Amino acid sequence: MIYLDNSATTEPDSSVMKSFQQVSEKFFANASSIHQLGGESEKLLNEARNQVAQLLQVKQEEIVFTSGGTEGNNMAIKGIALEHQGRGKHIITTSIEHPSVFETCKSLEKLGFEITYLPVDKYGVLSVEELERSIRPDTILISVMHVNNELGSIQPIKEIAQIAEQHPKLFFHVDDVQGLGKLPLPLSALSIDLCTFSGHKIHGIKGTGILYVKDSTTIYPLFHGGNQEGSFRSGTENIAGAVAIAKALRFIKTREKEEYAHLQHIHNFLRTNLAQMAGVVINTPEVSAPHIMNVSVPGLRPEVIIHTLAEKDIYISTKSACSSKERDESRILAACGFKRERSTSALRISMTYDNTMDEMKVFLRELEEAIKQLTKVMR
Mean pLDDT of 220-238: 93
pLDDT of 326 > 80? The answer is no
The predicted structure's pLDDT at residue 309: 98
Neighbours of 64 (CB within 10 A): 24
Confirm if 80 and 105 have CB atoms less than 8 A apart: no
Give this prediction's pTM: 0.95
pLDDT class of 165 with cuts at 50, 70, 90: very high
Q: Please give the pLDDT value at position 379.
A: 55
Question: What are the tens digits of pLDDT across the range 4-18?
Answer: 999 999 999 999 999
> Please, what is the end-to-end C-alpha distance for the chain in angstroms?
31
CA distances from 312 to 176, 295, 304, 368, 371 (A): 32, 20, 13, 13, 14
pLDDT of residue 113: 98
What mean pLDDT is predicted for residues 108-128?
Answer: 98
322 part of the active site: yes
d(CA 108, CA 313): 42
Q: If we measure between CA atoms, which residue out of 38, 22, 71 comes closest to residue 236? A: 38
Residue 209, beta-bridge partner list: 66, 198
Note whether 77 and 220 are within 8 A (CB). no
Residue 94: C-alpha distances to residues 5, 84, 118, 167 (Å): 24, 21, 4, 19
**What is the pLDDT confidence band of residue 325, given thresholds at 50, 70 and 90?**
very low
Helix (H, G, I), strand (E, B) or coil at 143: strand
Can you tell me the mean pLDDT for 332-354? 96
Average pLDDT estimate for 91-117? 98
Residue 204 pLDDT grade (very low, low, confident, very high; cuts 50, 70, 90): very high
pLDDT at residue number 324: 45
Tell me, what's the pLDDT at 377? 76
Tell me the C-alpha distance between 361 and 352, whole Å: 16
Residue 327 has what pLDDT? Answer: 56
Domains parsed from the chain with CATH numbers? 2-8+259-378 (3.90.1150.10), 14-251 (3.40.640.10)
User: Residues 276-313: pLDDT tens digits?
Assistant: 999 999 999 999 999 999 999 999 999 999 999 999 99
User: At 220, is the pLDDT very low, low, confident or very high (cuts 50, 70, 90)?
Assistant: very high
Query: In this model, does residue 328 exceed pLDDT 80?
Result: no
If you average pLDDT over residues 250-267, what whole number do you get?
97
Percent of the chain with pLDDT over 70: 97
* Per-residue pLDDT reduced to its tens digit, 26-49: 999 989 899 999 899 999 999 999
Axis crossing angle, helix 69-84 with helix 99-109, rounded to the nearest 10: 30
The active-site residue, picked from 105, 195, 322, 336, is 322
**Strand 281-282, strand 209-213: pairing:** unpaired
Strand bridging mode 194-198 / 171-175: parallel
The answer to whether the beta carbons of residues 67 and 259 sit under 8 Å apart is: no
Residue 167 above 60 pLDDT?
A: yes
Q: Residues 63-78: pLDDT tens digits?
A: 999 999 999 999 999 9
Angle at 40 between CA 239 and CA 11, to 5 degrees: 25
- Give the ranges where 2-127 is alpha helix by DSSP (H): 14-26, 36-56, 69-84, 99-109
Q: What is the pLDDT of residues 138-160, one digit of tens each?
A: 999 999 999 999 999 999 999 99
